[in-house]
Amino acid sequence: MRFRPLLLSAILGSCVIATGVAADTNRLNVLFLISDDLRPELGCYGSQLAKTPNLDALAASGVRFDRAYCQFPLCNPSRSSMLNIRSPTVAGVLGNRAYFRDAHPDWVTLPQLFKNNGYATLRTGKIYHGGTDDLPSWTEGGDPRRNTGEGALRVLDPDDIMFIQNPPKKTKAAPDEAELTQAQRSDRWIMLEGDGESHGDYKCADRAIDFLRRYQDKPFFLACGFVKPHSPPTAPKKFFDKWDADKIPLPPDFAPRPTVPPGFPTAAIRPKNADLFIGRDASEKEAREMIRAYLASSAWVDWLTGRVLAELDKLGLREKTIIVFWGDHGYQLGEKGKWSKAGSLFEAGDRVPFIIVPPKGKANGQTCERIVQALDFYPTLAELCGLTPPKEIEGRSLVPLLNNPRAEWNHPAFTVWSEDGKTLHGIAVRTEKYRYAEFGERAKNGAMLFDEAADPHEMKNLADDPKFAGTRKELSRWVNDYRTSLAQP
C-alpha cells in the first residue's frame, strides 16, 4: 500500500497519518452511510420540513455538496456505477436486475480496492441492490444468495424482513397480504412500535455498531445501507407524530397523477408511478400524509445514523475515520404528480445528499456548490486513503474541492435513464446554472431545459425558447459528446 503524505497533509490540517508504510492503527477508516431513495430533504440542505439533527451536525462537521447527482435514478444502476467508477451504460447496468460482473468479472469495486489493500471491508444492509450483492467486495457481511426471480429484489437477509404495523386492507379478491398486488400495496406507509427494533434498518445499525466494536483496532471500510425512506415509507410512530399532516405544503406543481405540463415532452414523465400511488390518483390529503410518512422515515434514518455515529465516537474512532453520507438518487414527492424516482431526469429525481467528513479536513464546515457526481466518490476515497484506483476510471477525485470548495471545476454531471434496460431513453446534463435533458437520439423525442436559479421547481421548459437557443446548443454538445463516449470500447 502506498501513502501520499504530502497530499494528505494538504487535506488534513493536522495530519494524523504516519508516512511510509504505516502501522495499521494509523490508517484512515471509512464509514460509508447510504440511505435508499433519500433526496436532500434534510435540514442541512435547507428543508423547512425535515427533522434531521444528526445529519445536520454531520454536514456541519464536514463538507456538504449542494449539487451532487446520481448517474441513474434507480437503486441498482446508481449504486453499481458509484461502486465501480463506470457509468451505467459502460457497466451494462441499466436496470435493477443486471449484475456488473456478468460482463466485467475482473472489475475492482470500491470496497474491493480497500480489501485488496489490507482493509476489512464490512457490509451491513443495502449497499448493492437487493439480490445483487457482490461477495468479492466484502471481508464480512456479503450475501451469497442471488435472486433472479421477477419482482422480489429486496435484500434477502432475514434481518430485512419487514414488520408491518398497519397492513393494507385485505379484500375479497386478495384476502392475504401476500396476495395483494404491488399497486394495492403502493399507497401505504408503515408505523413501527417503539424505536423500530423489529425492522431491518434498526438491525442494520446494530450490525454496524457490532462491526465497529469488533474491528476498531483494524483498518476498516464499513458500508452501512439503510433501506428507508424507500417505499413504503416506514418509521416508529413517534416519528410520524412530529408533523401535522394538514400543515404540510404540497409542491407547486402537485398533480393527482403523473402529468406532463404544457410545453414538456411526453417522454419526460412516465405515465404510471413505480413506488407509491401506482395506477391511482393521490388526493391532496393523501399526498400530505405520504409526505409526512417520507419525512418521518427520513427522520428515523437520521436517528439510526446517529446511533452508529455515537458508537464511532464512543470508541474514539472519529478522528481516524472518513465519514460519507449519500442517498442513492433523488425522489419526486408529488412534483408533477410523480411519486417515484424511476425515469426522472428532473432535479428532484437526480440530486442527492452527499456529505463527506475527512478527519480534520481543511474545508470542514464549508459547503460546496460545484457539480459532482457519484462516479467521483471512488477516486476521492482512494486518494484520501492513499490507494491507487484502477486506471480506466470515469470519475475524478474531489480532493481539490475538499481543499477548496470554491476551486475552479468545470465538470458537469450526467444522469441517464433506460426504460428497457438496454437502450437509453434520455440523457440529462447538469451544469452549475442549467439542467438539460434530451430524450431519444438527437432529442427526437423532445428536450427539457431549465434555468435552475430562476426556476428551481422546473416549471418552465426553455428548450424551445429562442432566447436560449445558444445555451441549448452548448448543452446539447455535452450530451452528444457523452453519448459518443459511451459508444467507445
Give contact residues for Ca ion (rule: CB under 5 A): 36-37, 75, 328
Single out the residue of 128, 233, 145 nearest to residue 189, CA to CA: 233
Q: Which is nearer to Ca ion, 230 or 472 (CB)?
A: 230
Closest contact distance (angstroms) between CB of 36 and Ca ion is 4
Give the integer Cα–Cα distance in Å for 57 and 44. Answer: 8
Q: Which is nearer to Ca ion, 38 or 235 (CB)?
A: 38
Closest contact distance (angstroms) between CB of 139 and Ca ion is 25
Three-state helix/strand/coil letters over the chain: CCCCHHHHHHHECCCCCCCCCCCHHHCCEEEEEEEECCCCCCHHHCCCCCCCHHHHHHHHHCEEEEEEECCCCCHHHHHHHHHHCCCHHHHCCCCCCCCHHHCCCCCCCHHHHHHHCCCEEEEEECCCCCCCCCHHHCCECCCCCCCCCCCCCCCCCHHHCCCCCCCCCCCCCCCCHHHCCHHHHCCCCEEECCCCCCCHHHHHHHHHHHHHHHHCCCCEEEEEEEEEECCCCEEEHHHHCCCCHHHCCCCCCECCCCCCCCCCCHHHCCCCCCCCCCCCCCCHHHHHHHHHHHHHHHHHHHHHHHHHHHHHHHCCCHHHEEEEEEECCCCEECECCCEECCCCCCHHHHEEEEEEECCCECCCCCEEEEEEEHHHHHHHHHHHCCCCCCCCCCCCCCHHHHHCCCCCCCCCEEEEECCCCCCCCEEEEECCCEEEEEECHHHCCCEEEEECCCCCCCCCCCCCCHHHHHHHHHHHHHHHHHHHHHHCC
Closest contact distance (angstroms) between CB of 255 and Ca ion is 23
Closest contact distance (angstroms) between CB of 204 and Ca ion is 15
Q: Which is nearer to Ca ion, 36 or 311 (CB)?
A: 36
Closest residue to Ca ion using C-beta atoms: 75
Q: Which is nearer to Ca ion, 95 or 390 (CB)?
A: 95
Closest contact distance (angstroms) between CB of 191 and Ca ion is 22
Q: Which is nearer to Ca ion, 288 or 338 (CB)?
A: 338
Q: Which is nearer to Ca ion, 72 or 239 (CB)?
A: 72
Closest contact distance (angstroms) between CB of 464 and Ca ion is 33
Closest contact distance (angstroms) between CB of 182 and Ca ion is 16
Closest contact distance (angstroms) between CB of 389 and Ca ion is 24
Q: Residue 149: how many CA atoms within 13 Å on its side-chain side?
A: 8
Q: Which is nearer to Ca ion, 127 or 291 (CB)?
A: 127
Q: Which is nearer to Ca ion, 209 or 342 (CB)?
A: 342
Closest contact distance (angstroms) between CB of 277 and Ca ion is 17
Instruction: Determine how β-strand 339-340 pairs with β-strand 332-333.
Output: antiparallel
Q: Which is nearer to Ca ion, 36 or 347 (CB)?
A: 36
What is the grid cell recorded at 84? Answer: 465501480
Closest contact distance (angstroms) between CB of 344 and Ca ion is 12
Q: Which is nearer to Ca ion, 154 or 238 (CB)?
A: 154
Give the integer Cα–Cα distance in Å for 344 and 352. Answer: 13
408 CA to centre of own chain: 25
Q: Which is nearer to Ca ion, 28 or 75 (CB)?
A: 75
Closest contact distance (angstroms) between CB of 84 and Ca ion is 17
